Amino acid sequence: MTRIPAAAPRNLEPAGQWVHRSACIGHEDEMFPDNNETGIANAKRICGPCPVRRNCLADALRTGDNEHGIRGGLKPCERRALARQAAFRNGDRPEPEPIPERTLQSLWDERTQADGEHLLWAAGTPVYFEGRALTPQRIGFRLDRGREPVGVVRKTCDRDGCVLPAHLGDQRDRDRKRMAERRAAERAAAQRLAAAQ
């Protein structure tokens, strides 16, 4: 692997002068190959004997040109790796990527997948969140209703593994449904009795 210091060596020419001696003059299109090995190998062959290859690579690292084309004989990913190594050696360590906050919603979004009119849990259970073990049904219920479920959360559809919040109910929901069914039955009975008289 080519080792280039983080700062360009003092003996490199300014960009305005060395670019006119580069081996890629007249081959500019070839220096931006598609991601195919043949095109990349051809561009690297052009760079190999170039008298200003080190200047080109140092310029790419200095300007942060690490996204496109072959420069100094290296692909963009190779230049990015070299720039990270140089920054690390110089103590310019990049900030670590922030760890996204783990929320019930992020767990739900990561682990569910749509299946027609249903939503399936695509991961193991239970899920540990804030020191508690939660079932997918309790998570879906809590996210949908905005409250902790009362008693056991059960699905109301016949699809195995469904956790669609609209297909879930807790004890309070079941009690309300039974009460509504009882009232509907009482009204129907009262209507039949009134019609019979």
Distance, first Cα to last Cα, the chain: 99
Tens-digit pLDDT profile for residues 101-153 = 888 898 888 889 999 999 998 877 778 888 888 889 999 999 999 999 999 99
CA distances from 164 to 65, 117, 118, 149 (A): 47, 9, 6, 15
pLDDT of residue 196: 84
Residue 123 near residue 139, CB atoms below 8 Å:
no
Residue 196 — φ and ψ, nearest 5°?
A: -75, -25
pLDDT reading at 9 higher than 50 = no
User: Which pLDDT band holds residue 2 (cuts at 50, 70, 90)?
Assistant: very low
Length of the chain: 197
The whole-number average pLDDT for the span 154-168 is: 91
pLDDT of residue 13: 56
> Residue 77: exposed, middle, or buried by beta-carbon count in 10 A (0-12, 13-18, 19+)?
exposed
Query: Which pair of structure tokens corresponds to residue 50?
Result: 């170039």
